[in-house]
Amino acid sequence: NSFVIRTNTCGELRSAHVGQEVTLYGWIQYQRQGLFLVLRDFQGLIQVVIPQDEAHSHVKNLLSNAPVESVVRVTGIVSPRPPGQENPKMPTGDIEVKAETAEILNSCKKLPFEIKDFIKKSEALRMQYRYLDLRSFQLQYNLRLRSRVMMKMREYLCNLHGFVDVETPTLFKRTPGGAKEFLVPSREVGKFYSLPQSPQQFKQLLMVGGLDRYFQVARCYRDEGSRPDRQPEFTQIDIEMSFVDKAGIQRLVEGLLQYSWPEERGSISTPFPSMMYEEALADYGTDKPDTRFGMKIVDIGDFLRRSDIQFVQNALSYPHGTVKAICIPQGARYLKNKNLESLKESAKSRFNQEIVEIICRPDGSLKSLLTRFLGEKQQSELVQALNMQVDDVVLLAAGEQKQVCSALGSLRLETADLLEAAGLVLRDPAAFHFLWVVDFPLFLPKEENPTELESAHHPFTAPHPSDTSLLYSDPTKVRSQHYDLVLNGNEVGGGSIRIHSAEQQRFVLEKVLKEDSEVLSHLLEALEFGAPPHGGIALGLDRLISLIVDAPSIRDVIAFPKSFRGRDLMGNAPDYVTPEELEPYHIQVSWPLEEKEAKKN
């Protein structure tokens, strides 16, 4: 209570304060029949007894008629609650404050929604009145926990390990590859700044500058349009070190997370397990596997190669053809026919992948379109290969390996949601399963033009030392020194050892990625002036905190988030500006006809 005019906070009062006179400031959470009210501040709730005697009629009148969420000052005496009226659900439930004087500091008009966590509100309304939504217990808890975690991270990096906290510019120039960047006009004709999607180039330049260990709580920007759980501006814990290898970065991050992990979320054990990219795709159908539950993808191509099933034989005849399956535990008990149909439709619409189901009946026999092509012995072997039990359901897919794995990986997660909605607990919400995914390919074929390559991570990632020669002969086979950190099936961090040779960096940009290296001439030149070997990582703070507090969206751990369309519904941004304001930037807006009419009206 230093620097402020209250004597105590509402939430800190206990039986030890009985008999003391206190002055409290807060919001009226609830008022009952002019007898008492519940006062709330950032630390909690306290019951305030409204005086009923004539001498305090002014106080009674004031507090009885004050609207909910009005801001008040109350001075009174802390007293024990009458026997039988204690509330064990409130930390302050053994006591109350008998009001002697009070003042309405600011009356509250009719609220657009009740400030209670259990009241359902539309997200649009919550964001329009974000300053009211911030009064809820859950958002207060989320933001305070976020602040605590960030403080511990700073302590670990700066105080314990000698990192230097450096702010880097937010007005820069376009970076080739990666996400789309926001443009900011300048007063020079036709010239624009870009808002950086990360401080990537600056942190590498800081290593060239000899800083050795850099970190920053960095604001980053990506113009990615309508993405449901992404934000156009976000925060990452950005880290770079000189003279380090992959193992060094991993040890640093594990120590950082262990040190800053909130006590109320239990403890996390290190080192985190590691999995190769190819293994993640083969077993989980994704490069960010949720390892809290089983249902791994099983390859049954060799087993079915001897069968007479036509679509299986067709799939296996292709160079990358495969037959794989996932086994859903107790699927027949928990999933309805419509669930299975929706899963098959999902695979068809999203991945163009047909799915065949196999159900294990109570007598151990199999129900499937495939059984007529399989003898009893083959069916028994199939049950063993997939470790099927009674009431299990198998989803089988045949086709091109990447497509089959992606489809089954997606169905694995959709099925987990359906099973949990039906009452089967698969993923412990209190469990935190960290995983390093390593040995990514350095380059991937572009989706829009598979004959061209793009960086799997970013163009500054170094090739795996064993694959350096392949960079110049067959870049598609080169593994990278890129590593991702995954938590419960979500990517929460990504980094790499960087290219520190100007010659190799120029080759990657010009010959492999076919990018104009002139845009990065400053970085290429810097690498020619004795750049040390270096590497780093960036942790997505918003995503990490949302997983720690089990928030349904990253918007629930950001004070003033944008909508999924990238709009600020509270301040109505982005907004129009006048032609006069645009004039210094040499910009004119070309309006579509219907928008011209709408603006006139």
Rounded average pLDDT per 10-residue block, the chain, 601 residues = 93 97 97 94 96 95 96 98 95 97 97 86 93 95 98 98 98 82 95 94 98 97 79 96 98 98 96 98 97 95 84 89 95 94 96 95 90 86 91 95 96 97 91 97 92 93 96 96 98 98 96 93 97 98 97 94 92 94 93 68 58
* 475 and 398 share one domain: no
Residue spans of beta strands (DSSP E) within 410-541: 434-438, 443-445, 453-455, 482-487, 490-497, 534-540
The CATH code of the domain that includes 297 is 3.30.1360.30
* 298 and 389 share one domain: yes
Does 571 fall in a domain? no
Q: Could you give the number of structural domains in the chain?
A: 3
Does 599 fall in a domain? no
Q: 482 vs 310, 352, 493, 529, CA distance in Å?
A: 41, 30, 11, 25
pLDDT of 381 reads 86
| Domain, as residue range, for 171 | 140-275+434-556
* 378 and 297 share one domain: yes
* 460 and 528 share one domain: yes
List, in sequence order, the alpha helices (H) in 66-164. Answer: 123-128, 130-133, 137-154, 161
* 438 and 418 share one domain: no
* 97 and 187 share one domain: no
* 399 and 438 share one domain: no
Domain limit, last residue, from 380, 396, 422: 422
* 151 and 256 share one domain: yes
* 169 and 42 share one domain: no
Closest CA to 254 of 236, 240, 237, 268: 268
**DSSP reduced 3-state for 414:** helix
Closest CA to 179 of 220, 126, 129: 220
* 48 and 96 share one domain: yes
pLDDT of 364 reads 87
Q: What values do phi and psi take at 572, rounded to 5?
A: 55, 50
Does 5 fall in a domain? no
pLDDT of 442 reads 97
